[in-house]
């Protein structure tokens, strides 16, 4: 849908001067604007509790675009047109007056535009403000049109199953479920959206996408950076709540879900919830064998000194928060019976890379014998979410020559080689979907709760178990040794994208 077809929109960002608005939201809206995706009539209000001059706010937002936008520095003309629609709105999130004034402003726009505009209320705020904002939006009937008024919520969505349920109850007291867009920005990533196309627009893979052909699945989201200035938040979260409960479980859902009957939001989300509900609950014994946690010590990453997690700003010097976790899960349904799903994520690892690896089973009978197949690694499909954005199929081929020698080769699909068009940022895609009222890529209440249920046994066990001796991995490594051991019974190890024609890290013993 392009600008002219999209209805007018009033966009309100609570936390309009915050980091998210600065780095992600405003650059994303700007890029949607210059690509012609925003409606003819729209206005963006950045709500912030402290007074700020309009000109200063503009300069602040421009700096954000110039620093973080994928399209580089803002174009002067385009910026002028865009900035004319963006306004600073001074207001305390806990004061009635803010919402009374907001109501007047939005209604005045509706009058001028001669139509009741779509309203998008973006909560880019600390969790304690969710309640007062919701209460006042309801009190002043600001989001009363359930067809066109939308509430957008960022993670963390609760801090456990109980608080997530409370939050869902609070929101659904004031708004209809279909109005609530719970964001997981991983679902807006181009390559994650493409995974749906890859799986459901092609016949070749779907028929082998099951336990008969797949030996195991690996999902890695690795980062080479530490927690930096986010110590306050991270101390409460840790890798389990920060990454596994949301991003990695969503990647698991897209990888393991059944084909939906349509692209309708409910059809897609039903299939994802089915995956989460099918995850086999971890027992006490599984906790010992199948879950590994770690915390980085001091060292170097890419030649740069990296302080230990416990020495980072706003981190307890005796912190027991995990900065790394890997685990083995099973999805108990017909398609995935006994196929292990290995998940791992961590900070300060060797490199930043997000991958989904599908490892296929070996051929039932090795006709060629081990002499001819010198490297008997199995077929693998490696889907790089970022940064490379490519899909690689690793399979066997005969090396040219008079003798039969079989070695693995790769078949690659890369965005760089296949497309000239620039790839949008996740937030651009997601914000446009919200404006268009398509909730397929957003979390429904039951989905968030089901994801919390998956990680609850781990949280419970960690409360009781003694903490491992932290720190237990060096920055620039691939995490604790035990994470390697976790996957070894499968006869292989964690896989990375092939470099120079060779998949690193995968060694099959048999």
As given in the structure block, the two tokens for residue 307 are 């302080």
Rule CB under 6 A: say whether 425 interacts with ligand BG6. Answer: no
CB within 8 Å of 387: residues ≥ 6 apart: 352, 353
Looking at beta carbons only, is 109 or 295 nearer to ligand BG6?
295
Looking at beta carbons only, is 143 or 431 nearer to ligand BG6?
431
Looking at beta carbons only, is 137 or 426 nearer to ligand BG6?
426
Please state at what angle helix 130-139 crosses helix 96-113, rounded to 10 degrees.
50
Looking at beta carbons only, is 117 or 455 nearer to ligand BG6?
455
Interaction pattern, residues 229-248, with ligand BG6; x per rule: CB under 6 A: -------------x------
Phi, psi of 440 (to 5 degrees): -55, -40
In the complex, the smallest distance separating the C-beta of residue 347 from ligand BG6, rounded to whole angstroms, is: 7
In the complex, the smallest distance separating the C-beta of residue 234 from ligand BG6, rounded to whole angstroms, is: 7
Q: Residue 35, exposed/middle/buried by CB under 10 A (0-12, 13-18, 19+)? A: middle
Rule CB under 6 A: say whether 322 interacts with ligand BG6. Answer: no
DSSP state for residue 466 in the 8-state scheme: P
Residue 247 is a catalytic residue: yes
* Dist CA 142 CA 352 (whole Å): 42
State the DSSP string of 136-178: HHHHTTTT--TTTEEEEEPSP--SSHHHHHHHHHHHHHHS-GG
> Annotated catalytic residue: which of 48, 174, 216, 247?
247
Phi, psi of 86 (to 5 degrees): -110, 130
In the complex, the smallest distance separating the C-beta of residue 225 from ligand BG6, rounded to whole angstroms, is: 7
How many residues belong to the site for ligand BG6 (CB under 6 A)?
2
Distances (CA, A) of 138 to 132, 203, 226, 236, 329: 10, 48, 40, 30, 41
Among candidates 277, 280, 410, 403, which has minimal Cα distance to 337? 280
Secondary structure in 3-state letters for 472-496: CECCCECCCHHHHHHHHHHCCCCCC
- Contacts to ligand BG6 from residues 241-300, by CB under 6 A: 242
DSSP state for residue 247 in the 8-state scheme: I
Rule CB under 6 A: say whether 223 interacts with ligand BG6. Answer: yes
Cis peptide before 94 (omega within 30 of 0): no
In the complex, the smallest distance separating the C-beta of residue 359 from ligand BG6, rounded to whole angstroms, is: 23
In the complex, the smallest distance separating the C-beta of residue 70 from ligand BG6, rounded to whole angstroms, is: 13
Looking at beta carbons only, is 242 or 474 nearer to ligand BG6?
242
CB within 8 Å of 196: residues ≥ 6 apart: 254
What stretches of 8-115 show up as alpha helix (H) in DSSP? 19-20, 26-34, 54-68, 76-83, 96-113
Looking at beta carbons only, is 281 or 387 nearer to ligand BG6?
387
Residue closest to ligand BG6 when measured from CB atoms: 242
CB within 8 Å of 265: residues ≥ 6 apart: 438, 439, 440, 442
Looking at beta carbons only, is 223 or 449 nearer to ligand BG6?
223
In the complex, the smallest distance separating the C-beta of residue 498 from ligand BG6, rounded to whole angstroms, is: 21
In the complex, the smallest distance separating the C-beta of residue 221 from ligand BG6, rounded to whole angstroms, is: 6
- SS3 assignment, position 367: coil
Looking at beta carbons only, is 116 or 310 nearer to ligand BG6?
310
In the complex, the smallest distance separating the C-beta of residue 330 from ligand BG6, rounded to whole angstroms, is: 26
Distances (CA, A) of 190 to 71, 333, 408: 16, 28, 28
Q: Which residues of this chain interact with ligand BG6, rule CB under 6 A? A: 223, 242
- The catalytic residues are 247
């Amino acid at each position: 849908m392009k600008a002219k077809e999209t209805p007018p929109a009033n966009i309100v960002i609570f936390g309009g001067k915050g980091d998210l608005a600065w780095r992600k939201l405003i650059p994303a809206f700007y890029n949607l604007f210059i690509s012609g995706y925003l409606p003819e009539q729209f206005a963006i209000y950045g709500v912030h509790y402290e007074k700020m001059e309009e000109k200063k706010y503009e300069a602040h937002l421009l700096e954000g675009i110039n620093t973080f936008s994928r399209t580089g520095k803002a174009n002067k003309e385009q910026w002028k047109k865009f900035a004319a629609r963006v306004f600073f709105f001074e207001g305390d999130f806990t004061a009635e007056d803010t919402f009374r004034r907001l109501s007047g402003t939005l209604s005045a726009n509706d009058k001028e535009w001669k139509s009741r505009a779509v309203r998008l209320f973006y909560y880019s705020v600390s969790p304690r403000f969710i309640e007062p904002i919701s209460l006042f939006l309801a009190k002043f009937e600001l989001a009363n049109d359930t067809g066109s008024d939308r509430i957008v919520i960022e993670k963390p969505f609760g801090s456990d199953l109980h608080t997530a349920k409370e939050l869902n109850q609070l929101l659904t007291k004031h708004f209809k479920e279909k109005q609530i867009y719970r964001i997981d920005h991983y679902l807006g990533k181009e390559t994650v959206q493409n995974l749906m196309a890859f799986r459901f627009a092609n016949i070749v893979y779907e028929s082998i996408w099951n336990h008969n052909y797949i030996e195991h699945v690996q999902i890695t989201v690795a980062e080479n950076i530490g927690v930096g200035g986010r110590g306050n938040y991270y101390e409460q979260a840790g890798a389990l709540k920060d990454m596994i409960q949301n991003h990695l479980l969503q990647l698991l859902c897209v990888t393991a879900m059944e084909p939906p009957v349509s692209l309708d939001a409910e059809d897609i989300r039903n299939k994802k919830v089915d995956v989460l509900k099918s995850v086999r609950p971890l027992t006490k014994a599984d906790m010992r064998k199948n879950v590994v946690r770690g915390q980085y010590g001091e060292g170097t990453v890419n030649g740069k000194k990296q302080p230990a997690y416990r020495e980072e700003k706003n981190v307890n010097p005796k912190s027991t928060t995990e900065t790394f976790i890997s685990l083995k899960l099973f999805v108990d349904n017909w398609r995935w019976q006994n196929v292990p799903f290995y998940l791992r994520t961590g900070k300060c690892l060797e490199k930043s890379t997000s991958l989904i690896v599908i490892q296929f089973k070996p051929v039932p009978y090795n006709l060629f014998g081990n002499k001819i197949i010198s490297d008997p690694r199995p077929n693998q499909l490696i889907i790089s979410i970022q940064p490379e954005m490519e899909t690689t199929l690793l399979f066997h081929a005969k090396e040219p020559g008079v003798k039969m020698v079989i070695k693995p080769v790769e078949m690659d699909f890369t965005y760089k080689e296949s497309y000239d068009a620039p790839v949008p940022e996740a937030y651009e895609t997601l914000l446009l979907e919200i404006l268009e009222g398509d909730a397929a890529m957003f979390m429904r209440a039951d989905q968030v709760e089901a994801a919390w249920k998956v990680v609850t046994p781990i949280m419970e066990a960690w409360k009781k178990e003694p903490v491992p001796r932290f720190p237990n991995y060096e920055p620039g490594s691939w995490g604790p040794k035990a994470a390697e051991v976790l996957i070894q019974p499968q006869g292989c190890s964690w896989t990375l994208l092939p470099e120079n024609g060779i998949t690193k890290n995968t060694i099959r013993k048999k």
